[in-house]
Amino acid sequence: MLNQRLEEASMADSLTGLRNRRYVIDNIEREISTTLRPYDSRNDSGAPRRSLLLLMLDLDGYKQINDRHGHDVGDRILFQIGLILEEACRTSDILARWGGDEFLIIGQVSEQKHARILAERIHRMVREFPFGLEGRPQLHMTCSIGFACFPFFPANPSLVSWKQVLTIADRALYIAKNNGRDGWVGLFSKEKIYHGDLLQAMLDEPEKLIAGAFLEIDTSIPKELDCSLNAINVTTDRAR
């Protein structure tokens, strides 16, 4: 019994009560197997094909909150983000604190629009929530969100691994951060298959894949996005 409690504690984030990175790494293969089963031509169960959404959330300006108001307020904000995610998501979704002020949501979706609906719901709830400690002035936060779905190419599910899809979701998060923050960006494949170093092109030149109709961007940001590496300063921790 004690060992079981210790094992469960090792899979949870002590501050927010959500899952942690270790839980995701130890359990995501089960989610992947469930997702891929209907794509197997040998499987005639008739189960509908779904995608596994990988959604990453990062708080805007969190470092400044810690510096200005102290770590007690910063920790309280992270705890409150956990509450928001629990309210916004389904009980079947995996909610994890990925590290620092970055969170990862994993869940099954049947259509691309369901991913954008969840991203918009979380984005709106964070904007509207009165953060902070009791007895102190309320703080208003925003977040940036990036997401992608596995399998990235449904016609060829094994072409891109879940770890690579997570990298693509993180790339989408970078794009949101560097186009004004306070918004969400989703990256999706088109039906065409890219012949070349797909992941490198996805990270280095997504605008090239968009122009070639290999990649589609879905976003809440009301302007033409700059997706180039020139728009991303990786040395400043996304200018949190």
Of the pLDDT bands very low, low, confident and very high (cuts 50, 70, 90), residue 134 is confident
Domain boundary assignment for the chain: 2-40+48-239
Distance CA 120, CA 45 (A): 33
pLDDT over 80 at 173, yes or no: yes
Total-model pTM: 0.87
Among 115, 114, 109, 82, which residue's Cα sits nearest to residue 96?
82
- pLDDT of 214 > 80? The answer is no
Which tens digit of pLDDT belongs to each residue from 84-125? 999 999 999 999 999 999 999 999 999 999 999 999 999 999
Catalytic residue selected from 58, 60, 101, 170: 101
Q: In 10 A of CB 17, how many CB atoms?
A: 13
Q: Does 101 qualify as catalytic in the annotation?
A: yes
pLDDT at 239: 42
CATH 3.30.70.270 fits 2-40+48-239, yes or no: yes
Radius of gyration for the alpha carbons in the chain, expressed in angstroms and rounded = 18
